[in-house]
Chains A and B, each alone.
Chain A
Amino acid sequence: MKAVKYMLKLLIHAMNRVDITSCRFTMWIALLLFTGTTVFGALNHGFSTDREERIRNIFSKTLEQLVEMEVTSVTGVEHQWLETPAAVHVITSDDIRRSGHRHLAEILRMAPGMNVGRIDSWHWAVTARTFNDIWVSKQLVLVDGREVYGQWFSGVFWEFEDLPVDLIDRIEIIRGPGATVWGINAMNGVINIRTKKAADIDGTTVTAGFGTEQRGFGEFVKGGALDNGGNYSIWGRFNTDHSSLHTDGSDSHDAWNSGRIGVRFDFGDEERNYSLLADYFQGSLEADSVSPSFTAFPPKTLSAYTGQSTAEAGNIQFLAGGILDNGLKWDFNTFYFTRYHDHLETYGIRLEEDTFAMDLRASFSKGLHNFVLGASYRYQNLASITEVHSDLTFLGAVEQSNFPPDKLDTYQGFIQDTIDLSDDLHLMLGSKFENNEYTGSEWLPGARLWWTGTPNRTLWASASKAVRMPSFYLNSGEFTLHYIQAEILDMMDDGSVNNSTTLSGIGLYLPYTIYGNEDIGPEVLKSYEIGWREEVRADLVLDATAFIYNYEDLLLLPQGNPGLSDLDMSGPLPSFRRTFINADSAEAYGIEIAGAWQANAKWKIDASHSWTKFNPTGRNGAIIDGIDPERKWQIRSTYNFRNDLDIHQNLYYVDRIPQYNVDSFMRLDIGMTWRPNDTTDVSLWGQNLLEPSHEEYHSTYFKKNKAKIERSFFLSIRKKF
């Protein structure tokens, strides 16, 4: 190990000191090779045939053609990113291919400061910085400008969102309340996923693979030109995933398969362009639920139902944009999205959701001012079917959950002005206006200041306010979580139910129901951030951010045993009922550091570390304490071992999750990509290699038992036609 370290130092030293093409450097390399260092393999002095061909091609281009060529900078970061005054990380399609991650939620692991906890085979908790949960309610996720947000619980159903890896152009992850332009619930962050334009998909690419956990998967993307000058692309994907394990080693009943197909048409040019996108999703998912159970308080779930859930979704979207003669740039986006999840067999509920939305924005410059403004409207139609499990019917017609249908209109507008105070100093001021049916109207101001005085360095600071529109569930849903056995008169002196009542006793089974509160207000976040980003050297980019969050009016369920004050005698049977209130506050602060280093032409390393401290300060804070890992770090390496062979490594560390009693874990993935020819690559991956299985996250609302993610292997072949 010492020798390897020494060689590494030597190599880095050589790279920094010496011209790569000089003979001294060649001698260093020869020396390294002959001393038997196999870690880094052979550095190729000449050019590969691929590269020779590419150089010839580039030299044959006219200046007009060169201007059209797209470039990325040395470390793969984009120039624009260097100057963005926010905690932004960009994941490119190349990054994804090199990572071995195939599910969208897994791909997001690569972003610094992101919490990604796999709850089981098809549930993930994903958020930036704080407040992770199965239904992350404080984060906005967009795919091609379309919100992929479920209003039911305000969360993202990640199992619906997988895309072919070859279709993804880039994912921008913005930690912190986004710049003013971002939409509803962009509280902890924005995940902005962009798929490739049809013209950027060249020919047909097909991938197929199989493995121990990802039992089978495949995808294709195909692009081409239309007769009338437009372009089209069609794509599809499927996956069949094996179930995870319960902590006792038994099957966790969460195997799933899903498929999705889509099409896109693009017309026009920069001055005026139109796109039409459509896709369809279908999934069949095994589920292992938590069900209402008969228990003393605190609840211990006794029974769970295993069954099959089904889900379908469809989306049609129209995009238009252009530049007017006076320089005004405009974009219009409208979509209709419909989806259902049928969990009748397990959770006793089927949720249906239709969304129609449109969004118009414009940007123009006047003097030192650069304006962006926009307006949007969203209509949602929610409906559900609920069933009572046959096991519970003896209790009478007590409904397990009650989600009355709802129709919602939401309006938003924003204006933002970026003022160039000098060549180097910029100020962004903006405000968003939002009106929703649950909490009314809100003005959300934000300010950002940044300095670009030193070349390739950006220093920035921001202060902003964000709100979260409550989900349907918090406003008007109803869930019976448990049936509590209680002798109605057996109350403690303080009015709470006697805990010691046992199941064998004769008593009433009283439902303990959580219901939505129509009087709730929005949760508020005041955020303060500072950041530094710099291309320190041509081959090294560093990015650091520090933040302070103050949450107010958090919506939490009052804690403690249900008592007399929760007793509702108005129904046919008495019941305990409790609702959410805006009564809690919390503070969070943290530091995130990330770097990308192109060690040499063949070796790239990305690393990040983040530390977040979260302190609930309210009365009911126990329920949100310790739901996020305090520390996370990762190192990812890609090494071009031979012209036709790349070696990839991902090493992730995630701190423990005290709330769910989940231990810290280290995850190592190693992958190899071999290119037998220019159009084929074969990848072999081992994932989660360090342990046979480990826990990552949990949701007591959703799962009876914690699930463990297993060590896995897969092989895939990608072929371009």
Chain B
Amino acid sequence: MLTTMPLSGQSNQLENIVEIEAAYIRHLMEYTRWPESAGTNNRPLVLGVVGKDTAGLGGVLEYGISEVALKIKGRPFQLKKFANAKAAGVAGCDALFFLKSEQGLVDDLIKSLKGKPILLISNISGFASKGGMTGLAMSDGPKVHIIIEVNRNALKESKMDLSAKLLGLKKGVRIIKE
């Protein structure tokens, strides 16, 4: 990473974190198994980014789709952006990423989407322990890494799961509830 970072000065911290988060979201979708009933096998997956995107996560994902030609399960995927969780069409996505602006609504969101075959991801603190499926959290320690918090109960309720490869990662995955 060091070699590709510009040498100096300007803080790339904001950029750096959303880029890594974007890459995580893409991998999480790759390693997610949706139930057959969701019909995701035959069409491009749809990812919704929900909330105030001040850090520009949507832009990074858009760039990934259009310029890097990112694929999930061998197919291109679609990105939709929603100003907030109440916007129409949110429930029609296959995966949703809730930005930190939605922090106050987390409990309601999880409740309203419970059982639906939608992969729920967020970097809101404690998302997985509150019943969200997957959270992106920061590790402790002076060198901070992103770790995936997985709530398998929540996944099971929606008849979904993550692949053994992801769950078996030695580092970077924390199972919140079995």
- B19 touching A54, Cβ below 8 Å: yes
**A-binding segment of B32-40, B61-69, B108-116, B152-160:** B61-69
A170 to B143, CA, bound (A): 11
Chain A's closest residue to B130 (CB) is A455
Q: Does B17 contact A (CB under 8 A)?
A: yes
User: What interface size band does chain B fall in?
Assistant: 35 or more
Is B42 an interface residue, CB under 8 A from the partner? no
A673 and B67 alpha carbons, distance in the complex (Å) = 30
Contact present for B7 and A679 (CB under 8 Å): yes
B58 touches A16 (CB 8 A): no
B118 vs chain A, min Cβ distance (A): 21
Q: Which residues in window 583-631 of A have CB below 8 A to B? A: 598, 600-602, 604
A500 is an interface residue with CB less than 8 A from chain B: no
Give the residue of A16, A538, A678, A720 whose beta carbon is less than 8 angstroms from that of B100.
Answer: A538
Q: Is the CB of A69 within 8 A of B145?
A: yes
Contact with B along A71-96 (1 / 0, CB 8 A): 11111101110010000000000100
Given contacts A66-B23, A678-B7, is CB(A51)–CB(B144) below 8 Å?
no
Number of CB contacts from chain A to chain B under 8 A: 179
> B136-162 toward A: CB 8 Å interface, digit per residue (1/0)?
001111111111000000000000000
Interface 9-residue window, one of A56-64, A258-266, A662-670: A56-64
Chain A contacts of B83 at CB under 8 A? Answer: 19
**Residue of B at shortest CB range from A169?**
B142
B124 within 8 A of A: yes
Q: Which residues of B contact A47 (CB under 8 A)?
A: 59, 63
Do A59 and B68 form a contact, CB below 8 Å, given A47-B63, A73-B17, A538-B100?
A: yes
**Whole-angstrom distance between the Cβ of A44 and the nearest chain B Cβ:** 11
Q: Which residues of A contact B2 (CB under 8 A)?
A: 200, 202
- Chain B 1-42 interface residues, beta-carbon cutoff 8 Å to A: 1-17, 19-20, 22-24, 26-27, 31
Instruction: List A residues 1-23 near B (Cβ within 8 Å).
Output: 15-16, 19-21
Given the known A-B contacts A72-B13, A72-B16, are A680 and B7 also in contact in the complex, defined by CB atoms under 8 Å? yes
A718 contacts partner chain B, Cβ-Cβ < 8 Å: yes
Cα distance A72–B22 when bound, in Å? 15
Asked if A638 is at the interface of the complex by the 8 Å CB criterion, the answer is yes
Q: Do A681 and B103 have beta carbons less than 8 Å apart?
A: no
Determine whether A50 belongs to the interface, using a CB cutoff of 8 Å to chain B.
yes
Q: Smallest Cβ distance from A95 to chain B, in angstroms?
A: 9
Cα–Cα distance between A303 and B64 once the two chains are bound (Å): 73
**How far is it, in angstroms, between the C-alpha of A67 and the C-alpha of B143 when the chains are bound?**
12
- Given the known inter-chain contacts A202-B2, A638-B10, please indicate yes or no for A78 contacting B68, CB distance below 8 A: no
Q: Does A640 contact B (CB under 8 A)?
A: yes
B53: chain A residues at CB < 8 Å are 19-21
Known: A55-B68, A58-B19, A63-B166. A78 touches B7 (CB 8 A): no
Between-chain CB contacts (< 8 Å), 8 pairs:
A19-B58, A21-B56, A50-B5, A59-B64, A67-B145, A71-B146, A78-B138, A79-B138
Closest 8 CB pairs of A and B: A67-B172, A455-B125, A79-B138, A640-B10, A202-B2, A646-B9, A72-B13, A673-B9
